[in-house]
Amino acid sequence: MTIIVGGALPDVALFLAQPEGPSAISTGSLFADKKAVLFALPGAFTPTCSARHLPGFVDKAAAFKEKSVDFVACLSVNDAFVMMAWSAKHDATNSITMIADGNGEFVRALGLERDMAERGMGVRSQRFAMVVEDGVVQNLFIDSPGGYGVSSAESVLIYV
């Protein structure tokens, strides 16, 4: 079942991609007492994710802060080392919290996984974004398979 607006995020262990290396954290701890925007995508270094999705949130990071968002996070079913390299490539280190869901446990718990085995990518995340306050989903934006736009920074910013 897919997470819904008003639903609490599942408490799952993830890894933050930080300059000093991967750091384990639970979603319960990460999102407690915070207003956050979480966007997720099929994979780091993939075409749409690299050309549009991540850069859009990097460009709009200050606008989200102006709307009292404590942090903007990018999640992908990649390992933390890939997320760190991707963050560095896009100059996102100071504006976006990069989260590795290497085993896809969080996206499965959300009901937002996507089987991309036919493309050699295994199980990945659907492209989505959400506004989360104190661990509860306030708004949810899910793109259609292969689509992009609903979960873009520009679209999400309207609803924060």
Catalytic residues: 49
Q: How many CB atoms lie within 10 A of CB 80?
A: 21
Kindly tell me the burial class for residue 112, based on how many C-beta atoms sit within 10 Å of its own C-beta (0-12, 13-18, 19 or more). Answer: buried
Residues 39, 69 contacting (CB under 8 angstroms): no
| Alpha carbon distance 83, 90 (integer Å) | 11
Instruction: Give the torsion sign (CA, 49, 54, 59, 64).
Output: positive
Phi/psi-derived region of residue 135, left when phi > 0, alpha when psi is between -120 and 50, beta in every other case: left
